[in-house]
Amino acid sequence: MREGLAGKYVGAKVRRVEDRRLLTGRGRYIDDLNLPDMAHAAFLRSPYPHAHIRRVDIDSARRMAGVFLVLTGADMARLTNPFLGMMALDGLYDPVFYALATDRVRVVGDPVAIVVAESRRVAEDACELIDVEYEPIAAIANMAQAMDPMRPPIWPRARSNVLWEDSQTYGDVEVAFAGADRVIRERFAQHRQSNQPMETRGSVAEIDPVSGELIFHSATQSAHSLKWSLAFLLERTSVWRSIRELATNREKPRKFVVGARAFIKSHPDLRTATKSSQPAMLKQLRREPKRIVHLSEALLGLLAKDPSRRPRVLAQDIGGAFGAKGLVPREDVALATAALQLGRSVKWIEDRNEHLMVGGQAREETLDIDVAVTSDGTILGLKVHMTMDVGAYPGFPFNGAFFAQMVKVMMPGPYRIGALRFDTTITASNKGTYVPYRGPWAAETWVRERMIDVVARELGIGRADIRLANMIGADELPAAMVTGPPLDVRMSARRTLEEALRVADFDSWDAIRDQARSEGRIVGMGLATFIEAAPGPPKFFDYISPGFSALAGVEPAHAVLEVDGSLSVITQQVPHGQGHETTLAQVAADELGVAVEAVRVRYGDSSITPFSLFGTGGSRSAAMAGGVVTVAAQELRQRVVDIASDLMEASTEDIVIEDGHIHVAGTPAIGVSFAEVAAEAVRRRPGSPSDGAIRVTSEWDGGAGGWAQATHVCWVEIDLDTGLVTIPRYVVVEDCGELINPAIVDGQIRGGVAQGIGAVLYERAAYDGDANFQAGTFMDFLIPTAMEIPDVEIHHLQTPSDIFANYRGVGEGGMIAAPAALTNAIEDALAHLGARITEQHLPPARILELAGVIEAEAPTEVGPPDYSAAAAVPAPRPSLIRERMPTLTPAQAQAVRRTATSVRSGARRFADRYAGRP
Amino acid sequence: MKIPRFTYHRPATEEEALAMLTEFGEDAKVLAGGQSLIPLMALRLSRPAHLIDIGGLRELAAIRERSGTVSVGAAVRHVEVERSALVARAAPLAAAAMPHIGHGAIRNRGTACGSLAHADPAAELPAVALAAGASFVVRRASGERTVPASEFFLGYLTCDMGPDELLVEWRLPTWPVTAGWSVQEVSRRHGDFALLGMAAMIDTDPVGRISTAALSLFGAASTPIRVDAAEKLLTGEPPSAALFDEAAEIVKGQLDPPGDLHGTAAYRKHLGAVLTRRCLSEAAGRLGAAA
């Protein structure tokens, strides 16, 4: 066992090197980039949730002074390859679509045209001159409508708005339920939320005036993923042309094929995974044969493309993402195409209104859960049916269905749950794209922790007692979740719970609450415990989707001694608020024996950063990048020591590096500098010094990996006059292994808790019953401010371990547990009034409805039908659905068109809401 | 989104400003603090061709007391009203409303008269004006008129002003020293527009019966509204919790508020009763406090 946890910098609250730049307004965000002769783009967007496009007239817009280019969906179909879902889930309908809407719009905000002009204002003026004739179609606003076979399918090829149904069983569910004293059932509904980073999406498509190359500056979470996606999607080329190109230049594909072959060879499990997903892919092709044409055009085009035609992606400072910037925006493809057509750089910065509409929405999931328990509170098994509304256009390359798989695998959490049946239903709607949002699988924690409270209440057992009775303890480890992932000895969820109960003085709570009630105050306290695969056990992603671990790949990094003696770490991570420039420098500085300021962390440029498709996400950076930087810095140190020992004629074991000074142990007065070592390295290796004097490239597979965990305790006080909820105290007891920078860890936890509180009390990406968007400004979509968020009291459990790079992620955990702790506290406060909390969004009016103070109004969000009842009714056959698709009589169509002209635009709706009119 | 093209004018005198309003009429908007107008223009919901910035008109930038009124000029910022000792003493109802208006940054730029002329029914100051029996001095190049608050607010974002007129002054009668006051609201977050709010004043006669009562609600309809029935009930009675409960029920019964994303109609009606109770009991506690 190691004695201490920390190095000189690792473990210290090192001040973020980013902050001087960011806090003095010297950050370089996308909108700070201004290139000579740069044009500006704006998008014309659909005011309708669902409509045929009958005609698009761009003539007057194109003729307007200052307008350079107008492109529509028809141009996209000609110039680009379509977005093609790559999710090989058996039976999932994954649609084919273009950057701009072609024949129909499917969501309010669907981009219909891009206008490029001398300024953003002129581009917006020109958008107003584009005349689009829409013919509205009945919209799908919620899960119930998606399951109504009388409603038209959003994707006609899917023949239904139910895009996927799946059922998986782990352990012996029948036995578990047969042996139960009680089966307790509940339905929980998460509302549609939205990531809403401070900086919206945006890009500058720069065209190198000399070479014509595309340099794509973007606020993205993954530079390489965006680069290859753009290379795949841009510049459609016919199959014949690509083949001709490849035939005349055979060297071109060779390197690519050799590399691909080597990659597949080094990942044998990828092969079996590919084999197992082949039937699903074939099914998709049979359903939509045109996919073959699109896939061939895109893949052959990519092979035949000159490497210089692959875009270079550059990301600099990014104002947050929370998952929303890990996908490829359709707007980016339209923007890059416009720039390539014009041969001139173009900027697009997303408005807040656009970002709220189509920048990414998340978490709209309903979970029906049955728990088999014995009367003493032992949980024997679960049956869960999850319905997920993924909106209209699937995220590329991550369809929402991928995250449903994560919910399934994580469902047991840190509890001894021996049997699980997990059914999944994925539905489409005319709403924004489902994107991952800070702990995209968090429904499992919310539903499980809420349900445990329900079971405790039903059985008359204490809320802490039932958790302690079912949570896996240290003496039972190692163990495994019934869904597969192993739980190693460092899985300490139970320790965090025990410590949290102590810190919160849980045992005296009931008396405190009852005393408060007798004084007329309504108070409550809630608990929630979670574990997070950050990065998870080895090959964790294979439990989610076979073969995905290989695709997610190992974490690479370069460590470089530059010719001037300075030190750089080059990472594929794309930090967007996490402070990697500080934390990775801390790790490298400790290994290299230099000051933290001496290490520069470089990132974001696909032409210099090592290849990985993952980018930054999934709370993996600390473990994966922290690990690989440790390895790379150690290797670099060895190379430095080798040269230094020659220069000083000493043995390598005697070389010490302290405070940036290289010397022989015991004689600090005589030594060499990094610059001298660099000069010597260059002398020994003549040639281009542009790559640095010494450059090492390392990879790290995550090693033992592991789990991050925490228990949250939330206290609430509720004003039953107004329904307003205040949070007087909030405690987090967490264990994420060793802390690289405690200040940054605390910041991540606080930010996550703030978003979790926001989700429950304030934020909702609301649509009405006809799928019209209701939350297009920050007056409608309410993000909590510093006035609403309490101080978060954080306790760290750190266990020394011999495991190499014992860092685990902490980026998402705050948000995973906060909604559970808060809703549990609210139910505790209102329990004596008979309130049962089964929905996650609890604005003040809803609190008073649940408390019985005011009468309830019908919600616009309607969940799926009761599955237990639905089972008795035969599901409609697909052919039946098609037959029943309503066809309009000419008179009806005329009526629809008339309505269309009287329907107010999205902006007009905003004005009405601003007015407070219904 | 970017603001469509417009012409910016910064007149040096009130006469010049009024001449411009006469010239441009419907095509012009007066720019004071810009806290409502500029966002509306950025969303392209308001598209004036001319903006007439009155920020440079020094003669309209003062708070004065004269002949029984407190007068707030058109260019006076919220923050100046908030910090004015004169307003605190002679118009405590207005002073009580100030902390509820947006955030500090908004109050630093926004003007009281701008908010009043904007006539947002969910804003605090129109309701304060209505409760306090304030009046407005409205000027055009050809003359001036004074409009009482009870006739000034006509509808959603609409007040009794022609396109060639400028609101130059907000006049509040000097507070009767015996009267109590209260401004309260419920909003989702600190600084948001109120889901419902109330500005209230009550005064008592020498034997302790309520002689005057004004209950003015904001966020309840397309204009701020007074609840006459509740005011009548209160008048002539000694203040008591039971009386306030009764008034609260009347207010709730009289309200027909809109429902929206942030609160149902039933919720807002309920808040009407809650705010009535809270405002009246706070105002009763302040009876004579201004003396």
CB contact under 8 A, A121 and B270: no
The answer to whether residue A858 neighbours chain B at the CB level (below 8 Å) is no
Provide the pLDDT confidence category of residue A689 given band limits of 50, 70 and 90: low
CATH of the domain at B217: 3.30.390.50
Task: Return the closest-CA partner of residue B172 out of B234, B236, B116.
Answer: B116
Q: What one-letter code names the amino acid at A657?
A: I
Task: Report whether A44 contacts A358 (CB < 8 A).
Answer: no
Return the closest-CA partner of residue A449 out of A842, A825, A850, A821. A821
pLDDT digits (tens, 9 = 90+) for A826-836: 999 999 999 99
Question: Residue B149 sits in which domain range?
Answer: 64-173
Q: What is the pLDDT of residue A169?
A: 98
Q: Is the pLDDT of residue A884 over 60?
A: no
How do residues A612-628 score in pLDDT, each as one tens digit?
A: 999 999 999 999 999 99
Same domain, residue pair B159 and B254? no
| A783 and A720 together in one domain | yes
Nearest neighbour of A788 by CB, restricted to B189, B271, B274: B189
DSSP codes of every residue in A298-324? HHHHHHHS-GGGSPEEE-------TTT
**pLDDT tens string A840-865:** 999 999 999 999 999 998 776 778 88
A907·B219 Cβ contact <8 A: no
Determine, for residues B270 and A848 on separate chains, whether the beta-carbon distance falls below 8 Å.
yes
Closest chain A C-alpha to B40 CA, distance in angstroms: 9
- Per-residue HEC secondary structure of A725-763 comes to EEEEEEEEEEECECCCCHHHHHHHHHHHHHHHHHHHHCC
Which residue among A762, A777, A853 sits closest to B189, beta carbon to beta carbon?
A762
Of A539, A546, A583, A542, which is closest to residue A743 (Cα–Cα)?
Answer: A583
Contact B188 A782 (CB under 8 A): yes
A400 with A443, same domain: the answer is yes
Q: Are A796 and A695 in the same domain?
A: no
Is residue A496 domain-shared with residue A600, that is, in the same domain? Answer: no
Test mutation, B5, B43, B185, chain A, max A CBs within 10 A: B43
Q: Indicate whether B42 and B81 sit together in one domain.
A: no
- Given A825, A850, A875, the domain boundary residue is A850
Question: Of the ranges A199-213, A219-233, A307-321, A687-701, which one carries the lowest mean pLDDT score?
Answer: A687-701
Beta-carbon separation of B264 and A843 below 8 A:
no
Q: Find tokens 């060779």 and name the residue.
A: A254
The verdict on A631 and A731 lying in the same domain is no
A907 → closest Cβ in B45, B188, B189: B45
Q: Give this complex's ipTM.
A: 0.96
B151 shares a domain with B73: yes
Taking only the tens place, the pLDDT of each residue in A775-793 is 999 999 999 999 999 999 9
**Contact residues, chain B, for A119 at CB < 8 Å:** 2
Number of domains into which chain A is organized? 2
Answer with the residue of higher pLDDT: A432 or A913.
A432
Q: What is the CATH number of the domain that holds A607?
A: 3.30.365.10
Residue B28, domain CATH: 3.30.43.10
Q: Which residue of A has its CA nearest to B222?
A: A915
Determine, for residues A782 and B274 on separate chains, whether the beta-carbon distance falls below 8 Å: no
Answer whether residue B45 is part of any domain: yes
- Do A738 and A777 lie in one domain? The reply is yes
Taking the Cβ of residue A353 and every Cβ of chain B, the question of whether any pair is shorter than 8 Å is answered with yes
Residues A576 and A661 grouped into a single domain: yes
Whether the CA torsion A445, A448, A449, A450 is positive or negative: it is positive
pLDDT tens profile B80-130: 999 999 999 999 999 999 999 999 999 999 999 999 999 999 999 999 999
Residue B168 shares a structural domain with residue B185? no
Q: Which of A777, A855, A916 sits opposite B122 (nearest CB)?
A: A916
pLDDT of residue A870: 57
C-beta of residue A435 within 8 angstroms of C-beta of residue A361: yes
Chain segment B79-91, per-residue pLDDT in tens: 999 999 999 999 9
**B192: chain A residues, CB-CB within 8 Å:** 779, 782
What angle do the packed helices A290-304 and A251-266 form, to 10 degrees? 110
- In angstroms, the separation between the Cα of residue B274 and the nearest Cα of chain A is 6
Q: The pTM is what?
A: 0.94
Could you tell me where the DSSP H helices lie in A128-250?
143-146, 173-178, 223-233, 239-248
Backbone angles phi, psi at A407, to 5 degrees: -60, -45
Q: How confident is the model at residue A891 (pLDDT cuts 50, 70, 90)?
A: low
More reliable by pLDDT, B289 or A4? B289
pLDDT at B271 exceeding the cut of 60: yes
pLDDT band at A802 (very low <50, low <70, confident <90, very high): confident
A619 lies in a domain?
A: yes
The domain in which residue A469 lies consists of 169-176+188-194+362-539+704-850
- Indicate if the pLDDT at residue A418 is higher than 90: yes
Domain-located, residue A214: no
pLDDT of residue A284: 83
Range B172-185 average pLDDT:
96
Question: Which chain B residues contact residue A774 at CB under 8 A?
Answer: 261
Do A520 and A560 belong together in one domain? no
In this structure, the answer to whether residues A517 and A576 fall within a common structural domain is: no
| Predicted confidence band of residue A688 (pLDDT cuts 50, 70, 90) | low
Q: Is residue A480 part of a domain?
A: yes
Does A250 fall in a domain?
no
B157 inside 8 A of chain A by CB: yes
Task: Count the alpha carbons within 13 Å of A11 in the hemisphere toward its beta carbon.
Answer: 13
Looking at chain A, the whole-number percentage of residues with pLDDT higher than 70 is 93
pLDDT per position as a tens digit, A42-89: 999 999 999 999 999 999 999 999 999 999 999 999 999 999 877 778
A904 in contact with B, Cβ within 8 Å: no
- Using a CB-CB distance cutoff of 8 angstroms, which residues of chain A are in contact with residue B4? 121, 124-125
Domain presence at residue A137:
no
3-state secondary structure of B49: coil
Considering B142, B173, B204, which residue would you say is the last residue of a domain? B173
Contacts of B2 in chain A (CB under 8 A): 119-121, 124
Q: Are residues A417 and A524 in the same domain?
A: yes
Please state the domain count of chain B: 3
> Which residue, B126, B146, B173, sits at the end of a domain?
B173
Q: What is the pLDDT of residue B149?
A: 98
- Residue B265: inside a domain: yes
Q: How confident is the model at residue A889 (pLDDT cuts 50, 70, 90)?
A: low
Last residue of a domain, one of A826, A850, A874: A850
> Which residues of chain A are within 8 Å of residue B262 when distances are taken between CB atoms?
782, 843, 845
Q: What is the share, in percent, of chain B residues with pLDDT greater than 70?
A: 100
Residue B2 lies in a domain: no
**A382 with A420: CB under 8 angstroms?**
yes
The amino acid sitting at A35 is L
Residue A890 has pLDDT above 60, yes or no: no
Report whether A383 contacts A370 (CB < 8 A). Answer: yes
Q: What is the pLDDT of residues A263-322, one digit of tens each?
A: 778 777 777 777 777 888 888 888 888 999 999 999 999 988 888 889 999 999 999 999
Measured in whole angstroms, the distance separating CA B232 from the mean position of its chain's CA atoms is 23
Residue A777 covered by a domain: yes
Q: Is A713 left (phi over 0), alpha (psi -120 to 50) or beta?
A: beta
Assess whether pLDDT exceeds 60 at residue A229: yes
Q: Is residue B58 part of a domain?
A: no
3-state percent breakdown (helix, strand, coil) of chain B, nearest 5: 40, 25, 35
Q: Do residues A710 and A587 both lie within one domain?
A: no
What's the one-letter identity of residue A396? Answer: F
Q: What pLDDT score was predicted for residue A914?
A: 41
Q: Evaluate the CA torsion angle B154, B155, B159, B160 in order and state its sign.
A: negative
Which pLDDT does position A907 carry in this prediction? 36
> Do the domain assignments include residue A127?
no
What does pLDDT average to over chain A?
91
pLDDT at A90 (0 to 100): 86
Q: Is the pLDDT of residue A746 over 80?
A: yes
Tens digits of per-residue pLDDT, B208-264? 999 999 999 999 999 999 999 999 999 999 999 999 999 999 999 999 998 999 999
Judgement on whether residues A535 and A607 belong to the same structural domain of the protein: no
pLDDT over 90, % of chain A: 81
pLDDT band per the 50, 70, 90 thresholds, residue A917: very low
Which of A673, A700, A727 is the last residue in one of the domains?
A700
**Is any Cβ of chain A less than 8 angstroms from the Cβ of B224?**
no
Spell out which residues of chain B touch residue A120, defining contact as CB-CB under 8 Å.
2
| B150, two tokens | 């009870």
Closest by CA position to A497, among listed A735, A826, A733: A733
B229 shares its domain with B263: yes
- On whether residue B291 sits in a domain, the answer given is no
| Mean pLDDT, rounded, for A454-473 | 98
Under DSSP, the state recorded for B177 is T
Between strands A346-349 and A202-207, the pairing is: antiparallel
B43: distance to nearest CA of chain A, Å? 8
pLDDT value, residue A886: 41
pLDDT value at residue B119 = 96
B78 & B156 share domain: yes
Separation of alpha carbons B291 and B287, rounded Å: 9
Let me know whether B75 and B166 are in one domain: yes
Q: Which of B173, B196, B225 is the last residue of a domain?
A: B173
Write down the pLDDT at residue A255.
77
Residue at A44 is within a domain: no
pLDDT tier at A871, thresholds 50, 70, 90: low
Do B113 and B200 share a domain, yes or no?
no
pLDDT (0 to 100) of residue A6: 59
- Indicate if B196 and B272 belong to the same structural domain: yes
Mean pLDDT value of segment B61-78: 96
Residue A137: pLDDT over 70: yes
Q: Which residue has the tokens 């037959």?
A: A883
A25-34, A450-459, A543-552: segment of lowest average pLDDT: A543-552
The mean per-residue pLDDT over the stretch A649-663 comes to 93
Does the CB of A401 have a partner CB in chain B at under 8 Å? Answer: no
